[in-house]
């Protein structure tokens, strides 16, 4: 594990859909699912920025399959790109019925966050190399890291879930938080 590469995707949030999370028709409310995704992405963004972050955009929200009461919902947040103060995460929610092993992707979206100070004004995001694992049909060399937006280009069209990982950022220099 010294290379920083992770072989298994780890859920940022794993929870159970409960009756109180349903809409009037008895289905799990899409707003509840979006809130879980925002919590997961916000957690990943705060860890990445080593500080406070706010959601500034949600793009391409797509609901693929319903979630039922009792389903285990796992939310994954993969860093796509980083700007000076912003970060984009590909966020997916997957469900697994209580009595089964099959996981089904239920929704996905791209969440954009901005790191902020206590003031609150935008804060600089620590710059680190984002490392991705290229899709099987790629001509990318396995020992060559994918950096920044190269991850997006390499993963476009790849059947999700990808294995996108990043190394923890170094601590910010004194006075830059």
Q: Higher model confidence: residue 18 or residue 133?
A: 18
- Let me know: does 133 contact 164? Beta carbons within 8 Å: yes
How is domain 13-125 classified at the architecture level of CATH?
Roll (3.10)
**pLDDT category, 107, cuts 50, 70, 90?**
very high
- Let me know: does 50 contact 117? Beta carbons within 8 Å: no
**pLDDT at residue 5 greater than cutoff 50:** no
**pLDDT at residue 117 greater than cutoff 90:** no
CA dist 36 and 5 (Å) reads: 26
**pLDDT at residue 18 greater than cutoff 90:** yes
pLDDT tens readout for residues 29-86:
999 999 999 999 999 999 988 888 999 999 999 999 999 999 999 999 999 998 888 8
Contact residues for 123 (Cβ-Cβ < 8 A; gap 6+): 49, 51, 52, 85, 115, 116, 117, 177
CA dist 97 and 16 (Å) reads: 10
In the chain, domain spans: 13-125, 129-166
Task: Tell me what pLDDT residue 173 has.
Answer: 61
Task: Tell me what pLDDT residue 26 has.
Answer: 83
Task: Tell me what pLDDT residue 126 has.
Answer: 67
Token representation of residue 161: 């879930």
Residue 52: C-alpha distances to residues 1, 15, 34 (Å) = 29, 24, 20
pLDDT > 70 fraction of the chain, expressed in percent and rounded:
63
pLDDT tens readout for residues 121-140:
676 776 654 444 444 444 54
> What's this model's pTM, rounded to 2 decimal places?
0.66
Token representation of residue 88: 């984009």
Per-chain mean pLDDT for the chain:
76
């Amino acid at each position: 594990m010294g290379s920083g590469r992770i072989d298994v995707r780890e859920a940022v949030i794993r929870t159970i859909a409960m009756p109180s999370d349903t809409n009037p028709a008895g289905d799990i409310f899409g707003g509840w699912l979006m809130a879980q995704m925002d919590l997961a992405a916000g957690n990943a963004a705060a860890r990445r920025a080593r500080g406070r972050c706010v959601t500034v955009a949600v793009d391409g929200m797509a609901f693929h399959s319903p979630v039922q009461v009792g389903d285990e919902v796992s939310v994954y947040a993969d860093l796509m790109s980083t700007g000076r103060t912003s970060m984009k995460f590909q966020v997916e929610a997957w469900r697994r019925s209580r009595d089964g092993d099959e996981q089904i992707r239920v929704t996905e979206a791209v969440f954009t966050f901005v790191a902020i100070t206590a003031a609150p004004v935008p804060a600089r995001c620590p710059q680190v190399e984002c490392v991705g694992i290229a899709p099987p049909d790629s001509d990318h060399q396995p020992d060559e890291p994918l950096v920044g937006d190269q991850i997006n280009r390499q993963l476009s069209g790849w059947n999700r879930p990808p294995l996108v990982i990043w190394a923890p950022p170094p601590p910010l220099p004194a006075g830059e938080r």
